[in-house]
Amino acid sequence: MILLKEEQQHHQIKVHIEHKESGETIRQFLKRQWQVSGRLLTRLKKETGVLLNGEWAPFHTRLNEGDCLVLEMEEEPCEFSPNPINFGVVYEDEDLLVVNKPPGLLTHPTTRERADTLANAVTHYMMQRNETYKVRFVNRLDMDTSGVMIIAKNAFSHHHLMLQMQQDFMIKTYRVFVWGRMVPDEGTIDAPIYRPENIPVEEPPRRVVDPRGKSAISHYLVEQRYKEASLVKVTIETGRTHQIRVHMKHLGHPVIGDIFYEPSQPILIDRQALHAAETEFRQPRFGTVLQHAAEFPDDMKQLEKLLEAGPK
């Protein structure tokens, strides 16, 4: 299979068949090469979205060396209103947009907040570039957590990236400031996380470490120790709600600024000092490994300086 970069578009994948793929049916090729879901195959079939050498072809058609196969994905309308909110673009290609989400910004609209969200900001960004695609978030961050977020530009890339998450191929690494000088330098937290049933409806959903909970695994590495705090890098195997915050609290090192789980702490920052710093995954179309990092926002840079200024 040959994929030419200059021939690709976010709503169209164009490949040239090589000798080793000759004899495969279109269906076999799509499932083997990209693990295309049955749902997407049905959509492509319904929308006559597969063209072989410029003409529609059924999925049982066998491929020959030199054939040109095109997946034409119908551009789905974006359902969010545009809003010119600033965010950092970390990476962009035909299939995805990787951004550095600012703290204090919701991911998508809610019943209370309809326009001041990352989804609205991305919609404005795409319109400024004369693009149209449905905004599909691959990962989610709490409103007060900053850092790397991945947006898929088409159903194909969204499905492929979600598969990588389910198969634990996607690596997500966070950097977090916690209270206390953590020891040892590195370790693994394997502690199930549970949502108690007796929480009043009007209160936010709190999580605790409890044997009745779902498996939750976090790996940590201490990057820096200060007089009364530590900067820790955390890589998560699972993606439970509030996982890092709950695990750090469980170890006796609550996240600085996280007054939800540690209300009686000095106010050094106006939110939990938690940042999605790095991510690693395969580009859905080309299969190359992509590694991206998002720098600290201003409030965490200021917190870092404040902690560095004190005695070590």
Residue 142 bears catalytic tag: yes
| Catalytic choice (93, 142, 190, 298) | 142
Give the phi and the psi of residue 127 in degrees, each rounded to 5: -65, -35
How far out from the chain centre does Cα 26 lie?
A: 30
How far out from the chain centre does Cα 291 lie?
A: 12
Structure tokens of 210? 């409890």
CA distance 175 to 221: 10
CA distance 182 to 272: 18
Give the phi and the psi of residue 42 in degrees, each rounded to 5: -65, -45
CA distance 216 to 271: 23
Say whether 181 sits in a helix, a strand or coil.
Answer: coil
CB 36 within 8 A of CB 284: no
User: Would you please indicate which residues are annotated as catalytic (active-site) residues?
Assistant: 142
